[in-house]
Amino acid sequence: MVLSVVEKIETKASSRLKIARGRRWDHLELLERIDATGSITAAASAMGMSYKAAWEAVEAVNNLAEHPLVERKTGGQKGGGTTLTVYGRRLVGAYRRLEQEREQVLKKLAEVMDDFDEYYHLVRRFDMKTSARNQYFGKVRSIKLGQINAEVVLDIGGGDVLAAVITNESVAHLGLKVGCEAYALIKAPWVIVTTSDGFKTSARNELHGTVVRCQEGAVNSEIIIELAGGKTVVAIVTNDSVRSLGLKAGVKACALIKASHVILAVNA
């Protein structure tokens, strides 16, 4: 189970987070530093990352895992902090062992194939890349075929599901079947945020949670909602909406996502 999570993170487009000045940071090193310091602020500082970039990296790997890798601690003598879960520590250990084995394999291949390095870098270009801020990994729970389109329901863990409407042709092209693994991609501007309950909406997906961060810009704000299972949803809303909804850390909120705005992908 832990190894499967390692593979998901490794094949993910941003398995190494791109930061300013083009430098690339290792997600696993960040997790190790969080585990050692008990603080995401200290871990980010040690790696020369911003606090925001560090949290984005943590949220990215958390959303791809079956269980949370990082958890917030509140209260206590030190006022709380951030730590790895047992599952997170096992993941880091498995990844580091896999890295060691991979380096040995690449070294052996380079010894027997003179131009191996050239072709290896070419193959790496084929890794999936996406600008979608919200990326989740799950298993197909159900597929309902229509005349042209199909509704595919993906279980992303933590008691949450995402429904996507795609063409029947896409279902066949991706080889989707009940029980198979897939990724759900959702751009942050496509996420609608509400703090009201008990009203009807045409949005097929409703993900309930708590606002953990609000990053205000000149016109829009980035809102991060943490779901009960530990995954997060990122939404881009206007600053006026932030004020009218009273959005801030600790406020209960719901992310509404139309099924037509959920993109599905699978490993080739």
* Separation CA 10–CA 98 (nearest Å): 11
- Write the pLDDT tens digit of every residue in 200-210: 888 999 999 99
CA distances from 98 to 91, 92, 121 (A): 10, 10, 19
CA-nearest of 73, 55, 62 to 224 is 55
Residue 224 in 3-state DSSP? strand
- 62-76, 127-141, 154-168, 238-252: which has the minimum mean pLDDT? 62-76
Is 37:46 a contact under the CB 8 Å cutoff? yes
- Write the pLDDT tens digit of every residue in 3-32: 455 555 544 433 333 332 233 357 888 999
Per-residue pLDDT, averaged over 175-198, amounts to 93
pLDDT reading at 91 higher than 80 = yes
| Domains, the chain | 2-93 (1.10.10.10), 136-184+261-265 (2.40.50.100), 188-258 (2.40.50.100)
Residue 141 in 3-state DSSP? strand
Per-residue pLDDT, averaged over 196-220, amounts to 91
* Separation CA 45–CA 50 (nearest Å): 7
| Token output for 66 | 């079956």
